[in-house]
Structure 1
Amino acid sequence: MIKQPNVILGNDELLVTMGRKGDILGLFYPRRDHAQHVEESLACIHTGEKLLWTNDNDWHSIQNYIEDTNIVSTKLYHDSGLRISILDLVHPEVPVLIRRFKVQSQQKMSGKFFYYSNLNEGETSKKNSGFCDSEAHLLAQYWQNYYIGIYALPEFTEWQIGKAMDTIWWTNSKYDMEDGKLQLNKEDIGNINNAAGWDLELEADGANEFVIFIGAASSRSLLYKRMHELSKMPLEHIFEKTREHWVMWLSKKHVLKMPGLEGHNNLRQELFNAYNRALLMLYLLNDREYGSFVAAPEFDSNFEKCGGYGFCWNRDTSEVVLALKHSGYPDYCDRFFKWCIQTQLPAGSWFQRYWLNGDIATSWGNFDYSTQIDETGSTLHAMDVYYRILEGLKKVEFLEEVWVSVLRAAEYLMKRTKSGLHESCMDLWETYYGVFTYTNASIYAGLMGASHLAEENGESGMARRWKKRAEFIKQATIDRFWLQEGYFAKGIINEKLDKTLDASVLGAYIPFGM
């Protein structure tokens, strides 16, 4: 099932994706790419007559980030006069999502507030175990060393641990809420779901508040300790601590220069806001341990409409870490290039994409003809760009660290470009096999970068050889792909020149400068 997130939030261990009405679509722990533990997780209200799910079409929503943070505000409005304000934040130090629900009604109402979750611990619906510890007031579900717990203030008064299956519908927590009362089953195994419930008594324009803590841990004892300690802290303190964390991280950035836009204050503010939001998002996509970046939190895990985005591509991450370096965050380059050294293949190339820990990921690029050669060209180019920015000892140490990788990658590119154009491979869109302007440009930039690094390392012979091949590739690309209409053809597909005006040809100019 394809899920379409509208916002993401998290910390170094936890990444959460949500829909525009505050329903949780993904909860990734302990990495950005694995494991995703949530099938469904959202609130609903029983009015005394029927169950209102907060992701139904009957609710109108307004959702936004609190300025300069990864804290999310969602406001829901129902035609019946019900209103729900949701404040979502992830504690900056521990993998716990904190959700404050403020429920209001224009008229007096007596009903129930429910919080429902269908969890797939370890990305499996099989062999899970769930329980309600009524003394600790905690719902928990686990599989191997993945534990997810749900705690709340005020403490829930009803619960159900049930089977998320229609064949045993009478235990299913989702159906159990429909009559406004939960069965209080305390544990179950297999494909399970859970629900917690509270009485909801609203005067006209009155309000009830419920705070839901959803935490992750590698053991039961650690889960209990985290939830217990957090529940003792005032929410206002946690909110301010989280807000300060994001504001302080943003304060490290370089000032965004916008020459030529003097007097265009509204446009300048829009660009400034987009710059801040991009930096905050990139923080959430980075794996702090390994230095790699996920292209996006996975939203199509069954690969129904695409090949998925919950992986690390060298091509994408090379541009990301350089952008962060230019924005005032140099550490990302250091850690990513160390990751590149570890993930380079024996032939000298880099694979199509990786899991964040460096393992080879699910791919349709397992052969020479289906690999993406631009991944290797992009990585070499980025190494050289970064080297040129460095100064003093850091410059010397970086070249010493990456030189063997540079040598191996450059020789791989030499092997694949003997005719001046690269051998057949897959394009950057992962759609066609052939020979492409973009890929040739990336190889050109990679070999030019390798040539510069070789010269700096005292290897003038290698430098001349690699530069000569880069210039040969540039000329061959111009001769074969430049059109009289004034642009580069996309490439050669099925032995025919594809003159499609494709966005990828911009790579010949930016970032590869061919």
Structure 2
Amino acid sequence: MPRELVLGNGQLLINFDGRFNMRDLYFPYLGGPNHIAHLGGEKGRIGFWVNHKFSWLEETGWELDISYKPGTLNGRVEAINRDLQIGLEIENAVHFQLNVYLKRLYVRNLAPNSREIRVFFYHDFTLKESPLGDTGIYLPDSGVLLHYKRGLYFLINGRAGNRGFYQYAVGNKRFRGAEGTWRDAEDGRLEGNPVHHGSVDSTVSFSLELASGEEGIIDYWLVAGTSWEEVRKLNNLVLTKRVSTLLVENEAYWRSWALRHERHFGDLPEKVVELYTQSLLVIRTHSDSQGAILAATDSDILYEARDHYGYCWPRDGAFTALALDQAGYPEVSIPFYYYCAHIVAPQGYFYQKYNADTSLGSTWLLPLQQGRPVLPIQEDETGLVLWALGLAYQRYRDWRLLHDLYPSLVRPVAQFLASYRDPVTRLPLPSYDLWEERHGIFTFTSAAVLAGLLMASKLATAFGRKDEAEKYFRAAREIQQSMVKYLYSPELGRFVRGIYLQKEGGFQADYTLDASLLYLGFLDFWPKEELRVWRTVRAVREGLWVRTQVGGLARYTGDYYFRRSEDIYSVPGNPWLVCTLWLAAWQAKTAKDLEELAEARALLEWAADRTTPGGMLPEQLHPYTGEPLSVSPLTWSHATFVTAVEMYLDRWRSLKPS
């Protein structure tokens, strides 16, 4: 189920699905470990008991509306259960500065008589992704619930008026027939067991006595830390400042952050403007405090695969850092470049993906091809980091950035890119493509390496390394010339996806239409009027558009990933947000007048019309229903939306009548 609320501060991140179940909890790094087990639908949830009837908020009897307060990372939930005659409003957030999750519930009695309403909070934690050694305990001296294991502590507390927990229970889950304390809650009473270890869960409840039409307030909070003393102090701080004050403080901070820069959004409609702001906030929640930018934290992808997207791909990170720089948030983008300096291999390249703590992520890239050892890398990732860094330096002219990162990042990466080339073609040696599916010499990869080397040449010049600048520039020009020679098909009148080395010698061209070819026009080493690029873009636009009522651009012809149709003519692949927004950005960049620019605006509106109810952009869409497929939200989708809007506004300002 797509994540509708993503709440985080760079260390603590919590995701909720469309039924307001807590589905992911990351601390102290984003992406892992996920402290809510995620292989069997585990979740934290809220339940209500009144007049001997019980209902979890996720059940169909509740009408739910989940969103953010506009321009903030304060979540807002409105709900009503007509059978139980309960109305509900919830405001919740992860504090921008404190590792505390805050929740305030307004519970309204809609019945014509006074009643007791009990509210239950269920916690299904699996600390550090293993039940081994977990402990849950109720501490009577402080009236709090604590889950802990090996330097990880989650403290839970709350208030209904001036009263703390009404009841509590700690117990076993999914072990020797024990379902969990959630089952204990459904009769409206908790048995009060104070401690358990191993496969542990817990439930706490609050009681409200409400007259007809009366509203009661419950404050709930979860504190995360690495020691008992840390969470104890944070708990005391919440008690002192109060949840209501902290929520207001958090709302003010994020609204100020999101609206830091005054922008004139031209003729863009409000829904596009709102998604632009939301996208910045979603990107921020996926940016770890140590610099990593996570691809996605929606763990439901594990139902389709045996791994998740909770890693930092240098490519995705580079595109996202670019978007942040375009939008004016260097305090988020610059740490990413420093992070890259920590993870780059001594030889000057990046592996497939990394964890937020800079350790190497998992991989499926083969280290052998045709029986020969190969580097298991996607070389476009290496080139794009230099490209984005170069654009950041051009924007900020921050000498410290160049001073710190030229020796540790720019030089080793540029030396690798310049040397890791085929002696015959002078193109980059074979590597895996950006979709992580095939091994060869690809147009997108070659363009990314070329762009990286051109930026390295400019950075070397700025750093006073003229000889190195000339070396990188020569290598870039050789690649550009070779791209025309080996990767352009005069017969088709466009660039091909790539070429593959053959055992017997020579090359085999891959003529598959691929949306990544759109990026040839973005890397600024060909003029906008270059006909070979224009013809390639036209072929991609015509050949990969999804011919259903959903529309959008597919990744490539015959895309198999989450395939939902065998009608390749109408549906060459599922619509991808990134690919469609690449087309929007290209149309914005090349528009000759406002009429042509309207084509880009239409695609921005297309994306805004296809968010989830909470305003999230997924990776891809079902080609017939438009429902999200794969992970949601995908950081790259939101980053590409920001970039497309920025490029649209740049062009709009240059074309509008004075």
TM-score normalized with structure 1 length: 0.90
Equivalent residue runs for 1:231-242 within 5 Å: 231-242=239-250
Confirm or deny: 8 A CA contact 2:45 2:122 kept in the other structure.
yes
Equivalent residue runs for 1:107-506 within 5 Å: 107=111, 108=113, 109-154=115-160, 155-169=164-178, 172-253=180-261, 255-258=262-265, 261=267, 267-288=268-289, 290-300=290-300, 302=302, 304-305=304-305, 307-365=307-365, 367=367, 368-391=374-397, 394-395=398-399, 398-399=402-403, 401-403=405-407, 405-418=409-422, 419-483=425-489, 484-492=491-499, 496-506=508-518
Bigger Cα displacement from structure 2, 106-115 vs 420-429: 106-115
Confirm or deny: 8 A CA contact 2:314 2:353 kept in the other structure.
yes
Question: Alpha-carbon deviation of 1:308?
Answer: 2.2
- The 1:111–1:257 alpha-carbon spacing in structure 2 relative to 1, beyond 3 Å, is closer
- The 1:415–1:71 alpha-carbon spacing in structure 2 relative to 1, beyond 3 Å, is same
Q: Deviations over 1:276-311 (max 9, x none)?
A: 2222222222222x2221122242474733752211
Q: Which amino acid aligns with 1:162?
A: G
Question: Alpha-carbon deviation of 1:250?
Answer: 2.8
Are 2:47 and 1:44 aligned? yes
Identity of aligned residues (%): 24
Equivalent residue runs for 1:7-22 within 5 Å: 7-22=5-20
TM-score normalized with structure 2 length: 0.71
Question: Alpha-carbon deviation of 1:157?
Answer: 1.6
Q: Which amino acid aligns with 1:244?
A: A
- The 1:508–1:248 alpha-carbon spacing in structure 2 relative to 1, beyond 3 Å, is same
- The 1:382–1:436 alpha-carbon spacing in structure 2 relative to 1, beyond 3 Å, is same
Q: Deviations over 1:322-363 (max 9, x none)?
A: 322232222334322222222221211112111122211112
Residue 73 of structure 1 corresponds to 76
Bigger Cα displacement from structure 2, 85-94 vs 464-473: 464-473
Secondary structure of 2:299's aligned partner? coil
Q: Which amino acid aligns with 1:84?
A: L
How far apart, in 2, do the equivalents of 1:93 and 1:149 lie?
A: 17
Secondary structure of 1:169's aligned partner? coil
- The 1:76–1:258 alpha-carbon spacing in structure 2 relative to 1, beyond 3 Å, is closer
- The 1:314–1:52 alpha-carbon spacing in structure 2 relative to 1, beyond 3 Å, is same
- The 1:327–1:397 alpha-carbon spacing in structure 2 relative to 1, beyond 3 Å, is closer
Q: Which amino acid aligns with 2:499?
A: I
Secondary structure of 2:241's aligned partner? coil
Q: Which amino acid aligns with 2:191?
A: Q
Residue 507 of structure 1 corresponds to 519
Gaps of 5+ in 1: 262-266
- The 1:399–1:385 alpha-carbon spacing in structure 2 relative to 1, beyond 3 Å, is farther
Secondary structure of 1:62's aligned partner? strand
Are 2:92 and 1:88 aligned? yes
Question: Alpha-carbon deviation of 1:191?
Answer: 0.4
Question: Alpha-carbon deviation of 1:56?
Answer: 1.9
Confirm or deny: 8 A CA contact 1:369 1:426 kept in the other structure.
no
Secondary structure of 2:383's aligned partner? helix
How far apart, in 1, do the equivalents of 2:461 and 2:323 lie?
A: 25
The number of residue pairs the alignment matches comes to: 501
Confirm or deny: 8 A CA contact 1:313 1:353 kept in the other structure.
yes
Confirm or deny: 8 A CA contact 2:440 2:499 kept in the other structure.
yes
Secondary structure of 2:34's aligned partner? coil
